Amino acid sequence: MHWLQKLGPQSRNLEAINANFLQMLEDGRHIFDAAANALVGGTDPTVIREDLFKTDQRINQTEQSIRREIVIHGTIHGAGTFPALLVLMSLVKDAERIGDYCKNIYELASLRPPLGTTEEVQELIELKDQISKLIVRARAIYQSQDEDAATNLIQETGELGKVLDAKIEQGVMAQDQNRSGLVLAYRYFKRVSSHTGNIVTSIIMPLDKLDYFDEPGG
């Protein structure tokens, strides 16, 4: 952060709100790892259940806390702060959705569905690792506000999304009825990856085009 940006009470309070948001992302990474490991990493879902639901609860409470802080910040500092605060409102929703989809992953893992062939399971493991690293990178990029890194990450999540869409379509159209678990896994992974990408669109996209990086400009 530039030293000028550290001046002023407004910056200090926004920093506090941002710090809470970064903690949401850290919790999101943690909950994704736990849930995905339960799905494809061999972890017993019952062992991680309590920690996973506590983390999700913490994510939800942090979202509510940030929303309150946003309202107070806007009330005190006035209309000039609204763009930044509106962005934050959108971002905490993305972070909260990551937590929700990770719960879905966990619920899928608890059903212990067949997840396709050995190669497909291995692919899921690699996807798990890739997405976990994406969340970590997104957190770091948001903290540093690095526009080039943001663009790269958005492109990566965009491409990943296309790959997963193709796999979902393949799975849905397959005659093999045991594909439902695999299709859901791809779907949930895709949503986690997309919400992660959405977060860093805030660094390079104007407010009205948040999350719409891949659509033609207008």
Partner 1 sequence: MNPSPPASGSDAAPPQANSVLGVLGRVLLVFVLLGGFLVAIQCMGGSIKLMGKGTSESLFQGIANPFAALAVGILATVLVQSSSTTTSMIVALVGSGELEVQQAVPMIMGANIGTTVTNTLVSIGHVRQSAAFRRAFAAATVHDFFNLLCVGLLLPLELMTGFLSKTAIALTDVVAGSSGAEYKSPIKAAVKQGYTAILDLLKSMGLEGTPLAIVVLLVGIGLTFLCLVLITKNMRKLIAGPLEEALNRSLGRSGLIGIGIGILVTIAVQSSSITTSLLVPLCAAGILSLENAFPLMLGANIGTTVTALLASAATDSTAGLTIALVHAFFNLVGTALFYPVRRLRMIPIRLAEGLAERASQNPGWVLAYVGGAFVLIPLLGMWIFEGAG
Chosen residue from 61, 122, 145, 178 binding partner 1 by CB under 8 A: 145
Q: Name which position in 35, 39, 48, 91 contacts partner 1 (CB under 8 A).
A: 91
The C-alpha atoms of residue 141 and residue 200 are separated, in whole angstroms, by 7
Q: Does 4 bind partner 1 (CB under 8 A)?
A: yes
- Helix pair 45-77, 9-40: axis angle to 10 deg: 160
How would you label 26-46 residue by residue, b for 16+ Cβ within 10 Å and e otherwise?
bbbbbbbbbbbbbbbeebebe
CB 85 within 8 A of CB 70: yes
Stretch that binds partner 1, among 41-49, 55-63, 85-93, 183-191 (CB under 8 A): 85-93
In this structure, what DSSP letter does residue 209 have?
G
Per CB under 8 A, contacts with partner 1 among 162-181 are none
- Verify binding: residue 209, partner 1, rule CB under 8 A: yes
Scored b (16 or more CB within 10 A) or e, 113-138 reads bebbeeebeebbbebbeebbebbebb
Task: Identify which of residues 9 and 42 has a Cβ nearer to partner 1 in the complex.
Answer: 9
Query: Which of 21, 186 has the CB closer to partner 1?
Result: 21
Binding site for partner 1 (CB under 8 A): 1-2, 4-5, 7-15, 18, 21, 67-69, 71-73, 75-77, 80-81, 83-84, 87-88, 91, 142, 145, 147, 151, 202-207, 209-210, 217
